[in-house]
Amino acid sequence: MTRHAIVATLDVVLLIAFLALETPGASTGFKFHEWVGIAFVGFFVVHVALSWSWISGTIGRLRQDAVPRIRVNFVLNAALFVMALVAIVSGFLVSDYLLPSAHLTTSDDPRWRNVHNMTASFLLAVVGLHIALNWNWIKGAFRRYMTRQSSRDIGGESDS
């Protein structure tokens, strides 16, 4: 599996996990929501680690004269990172099942729940914008996947 394929697969997994996390009552149930949340943190860390060369490269370019698209992309990704971090931390703080089951005290403060819900809701819009800015990459990855599939199919036909 190439690095590109790993990144694309991870992004799809992240999107599915994100969708499941967004409506805990209807899709996962609240207990499983917290387990999916833990898995999401792992995927999120790997996603950031795999994008590290882009992050450091962009920071370097921002110091020079970067084009507006790069600036907007960086600001959007930074907002996404901070919002995801807030949602994750507040999620841990208001954990109802996982952390209490490990005998860790969590907060019952409705304000923390509101912070968790609000950031999660606004993340929907920011994820949409993130997809918009990376649309060409997504399209390219999909096209590459489809081309590989069709060439594999052709190879399979010629073998038989």
Partner 1 sequence: MSAAVIDRAERSRRRFRLLELTVVVLALFPFSIFALRSSDGSGPRLVSTGRPGRAPVRRELTRTELRDRRARTQPTLADALLDVSIQLVWIGLAAWLGRRWFALRL
Interface with partner 1 (CB under 8 A): 19-20, 22-27, 29-30, 68-69, 72, 96, 108, 110, 117, 121, 124-129, 131-133, 135
Q: How far is the CB of 36 from partner 1 (least distance, A)?
A: 13
Report the b/e string of 51-79 with b at 16+ CB within 10 A: eeeeeeebeeeeeeebeeeeeebbebbee
| Residue 97, Cβ density class (10 Å: 0-12 exposed, 13-18 middle, ≥19 buried) | middle
Q: How far apart are CA 93 and CA 113, in angstroms?
A: 9
Q: Of the two residues 30 and 148, which places its CB atom closer to partner 1 in the complex?
A: 30
Q: How far apart are CA 157 and CA 141, in angstroms?
A: 24
Q: Of the two residues 32 and 148, which places its CB atom closer to partner 1 in the complex?
A: 32
Q: How far is the CB of 23 from partner 1 (least distance, A)?
A: 4
Helix (H) or strand (E) holding 136: helix 135-159
Q: Of the two residues 39 and 49, which places its CB atom closer to partner 1 in the complex?
A: 39
Q: How far is the CB of 16 from partner 1 (least distance, A)?
A: 10
Vertex 7 angle, CA 30 and 143, to 5°: 110
Q: How far is the CB of 115 from partner 1 (least distance, A)?
A: 13
Q: Of the two residues 68 and 155, which places its CB atom closer to partner 1 in the complex?
A: 68
